[in-house]
Chain A
Amino acid sequence: MSPVDVGEAITRAHREEWARVVATLTRQFGDLDIAEEAAAEAFATAVERWPADGVPPNPGGWLATTARRKALDRIRRENKRDDKHKQAQMMYDDSPDSLGAVDDERLRLIFTCCHPALAPEARVALTLRMVGGLTVPEIARAFLVQEAAMGQRITRAKAKIKAARIPYRMPSADDLPGRVSGVLTVLYLVFNEGYLASGPDTDPVRHDLTAEAVRLTRLLRELMPSDGEVAGLLALMLLTEARRAARVSASGELVTLDEQDRGAWDAALVAEGHRLVRERLATGRAPGRYQILAAINAVHTSARDMRDTDWSQIVALYNQLVRLDPSPIVALNRAVAIAELDGLDVALAIVDRLEDELVDYHAYFAARADILRRLGRSEESRAAYDRAIALAGNTAETAYLARRRDQLG
């Protein structure tokens, strides 16, 4: 096998096996720290050994066995040093893995990392580290945080899990919907940070983050195939990700939906997203928030031209969403759709009423500026663009807003 092939085999094994190895070790040793360290050591050993020894026939099994040995080594080392440790840590479970239980292990890991008793930013970091297998420096870079601070955030979260005894198990049936929704929030946060990256020095779209969010959501979908909101979030991500290539121009400017080259959309992702939306519709069950957002995006991606968009359906979906989530941000997005269906004046009246609640939100002023511009009210539009530019954190979006402002008559 060539060095390139071995490298690819290691990358693939990392992508496919990391979460499984960490999850299984966490159950066996009852300690996230030991699981994480032993998994990392096992992969480091693979990098060292596979080029010389060849890729083992069952890379996942090899990694699991190696990692378990590393964990036992560490515990033996620590036992020699500290007898008290022995009592605490020898309660590991050495039963052989039954194959069916393995998927549950990864779900448990996800639920533990996204536990509501952890700070939201710690949930994101821990999920990317333990489930996604990203390194601490990678996560720190992704969220523009110093490496030491990110390391500490993860360490503190692991310490709380241990000291407060956050359980490593599936939530009870009563708690499940709320806990799944917590996991989806974490995954959507990762996706959005990738899709509309904040900060002056990052790429406007961070494909590494959107891809990781999609991958983890696919995993969750595989583990919870009948959960409607999991399917909804995956569909929403796919239909958003499908437009990525058309979303930023060659000159690095954000391209809004109405001006995007729809031929540049990823047809395979669109088709997969539509399939998921249709699957949920066929169940006849009342959709949750992500399913409605996915349906809205399905309507957008069904139109070959902006003018073919079925705005009445989009407004109907937003009306449904407002009933579930009466937040001003949903109301703003609904107003933007209303502008296309009922006219700019109707939309502006709705937008005006939202100003108090959205006074710090760049998208509020961007939407308002656009409506005023189309109404020919240039001076007011200019003022709104100025506010939007001052609040926007994404470089491509700032460039787009500045061009629109400078083109005002």
Chain B
Amino acid sequence: MQYLVSVIYDTPNSATSDEMTDIDAFNDGLQADGHWVFAGGLGAPGTATVVDGRGAEAMFTDGPFVETKEWLSGFWIIEAPDLDVALKLAAAGSKACNRRVEVRPFL
């Protein structure tokens, strides 16, 4: 079972070097215990481009598709047998990156 752990944040700052050290250590743990699938940090919402390719010609629009006060600033995809394990890992991830996270199951 895979879960998406989204990192929620309200300013475009990336992680500090202390936070990066903790995140690296957390990621090493995920890999060692077989929970690691993928992870990454994202550019600020201002760097986003919305693309609509449904018409004859693709349309490009600058900016995020919805303006919010908080946004996705990074994510993990983890492998866990159930939600209890996923929530424990997410709590450790939240501590490591010093931000709130949201856990959602993949279908």
Interface presence of A163 (CB below 8 A)? yes
Number of B interface residues, CB 8 Å? 10
Nearest first, the 9 closest Cβ-Cβ pairs linking A and B are A167-B82, A164-B105, A165-B82, A164-B83, A166-B83, A167-B84, A165-B83, A163-B105, A165-B1
Instruction: Give a binary string over A153-171; 1 marks a CB under 8 Å from any B CB, 0 the rest.
Output: 0000000000111110001
Cα A163 to Cα B103 in complex, Å, equals 12
> Which residues of chain A from 38 to 79 have a CB within 8 Å of any chain B CB?
none
Is the beta-carbon distance between B107 and A171 smaller than 8 angstroms? no
> Which residues of chain A from 146 to 185 have a CB within 8 Å of any chain B CB?
163-167, 171-172, 175
Interface presence of A119 (CB below 8 A)? no
Interface presence of A359 (CB below 8 A)? no
Cα A115 to Cα B107 in complex, Å, equals 21
Interface presence of A102 (CB below 8 A)? no
Residues of B within 8 A of A171 (CB): 84
Cα A172 to Cα B85 in complex, Å, equals 11
Residues of A within 8 A of B82 (CB): 165-167
Between B82, B84, B87, the greatest number of chain A beta carbons within 10 A of the residue's beta carbon is seen for B84
Cα A164 to Cα B81 in complex, Å, equals 10
Which residue of B has the minimal Cβ distance to A166? B83
Residues of B within 8 A of A167 (CB): 81-84
Interface presence of A117 (CB below 8 A)? yes
Other A-B pairs, 14, CB within 8 Å; known A163-B107, A164-B104, A167-B84: A115-B83, A117-B83, A117-B87, A164-B83, A164-B103, A164-B105, A165-B81, A165-B82, A165-B105, A166-B84, A167-B81, A167-B82, A171-B84, A175-B84
Cα A166 to Cα B1 in complex, Å, equals 12
Cα A175 to Cα B88 in complex, Å, equals 10
Which residue of A has the minimal Cβ distance to B1? A165
Which residue of B has the minimal Cβ distance to A172? B84
Residues of A within 8 A of B87 (CB): 117
Residues of B within 8 A of A164 (CB): 83, 103-105
Q: Which residues of A contact B (CB under 8 A)?
A: 115, 117, 163-167, 171-172, 175
Cα A398 to Cα B82 in complex, Å, equals 48
A32 to chain B, nearest CB (A): 14
The 14 listed contacts between A and B (C-beta, < 8 Å) are: A115-B83, A117-B83, A117-B87, A163-B105, A163-B107, A164-B83, A164-B104, A164-B105, A166-B83, A167-B82, A167-B83, A167-B84, A171-B84, A175-B84
Residues of A within 8 A of B1 (CB): 165
Which residue of B has the minimal Cβ distance to A174? B88
Which residue of B has the minimal Cβ distance to A179? B84
Which residue of B has the minimal Cβ distance to A171? B84
Which residue of B has the minimal Cβ distance to A167? B82
Residues of B within 8 A of A117 (CB): 83, 87
Which residue of A has the minimal Cβ distance to B104? A164
A104 to chain B, nearest CB (A): 17
Residues of B within 8 A of A166 (CB): 82-84
A178 to chain B, nearest CB (A): 12
A165 to chain B, nearest CB (A): 5
Cα A175 to Cα B105 in complex, Å, equals 22
Cα A117 to Cα B83 in complex, Å, equals 9
Residues of B within 8 A of A163 (CB): 105, 107
Between A115, A117, A165, A171, the greatest number of chain B beta carbons within 10 A of the residue's beta carbon is seen for A165
B37 to chain A, nearest CB (A): 16
Residues of A within 8 A of B81 (CB): 165, 167
> Which residues of chain B from 59 to 105 have a CB within 8 Å of any chain A CB?
81-84, 87, 103-105
Residues of B within 8 A of A175 (CB): 84
B95 to chain A, nearest CB (A): 16
A119 to chain B, nearest CB (A): 15
Cα A349 to Cα B107 in complex, Å, equals 58
Cα A224 to Cα B14 in complex, Å, equals 47
> Which residues of chain B from 29 to 75 have a CB within 8 Å of any chain A CB?
none
Residues of A within 8 A of B84 (CB): 166-167, 171-172, 175
Which residue of A has the minimal Cβ distance to B85? A167
B103 to chain A, nearest CB (A): 8
B36 to chain A, nearest CB (A): 19
Which residue of B has the minimal Cβ distance to A161? B83
Cα A164 to Cα B82 in complex, Å, equals 7
Which residue of A has the minimal Cβ distance to B87? A117
Which residue of A has the minimal Cβ distance to B82? A167
B41 to chain A, nearest CB (A): 25
Cα A171 to Cα B87 in complex, Å, equals 13
Residues of A within 8 A of B105 (CB): 163-165
Instruction: Give a binary string over B1-20; 1 marks a CB under 8 Å from any A CB, 0 the rest.
Output: 10000000000000000000
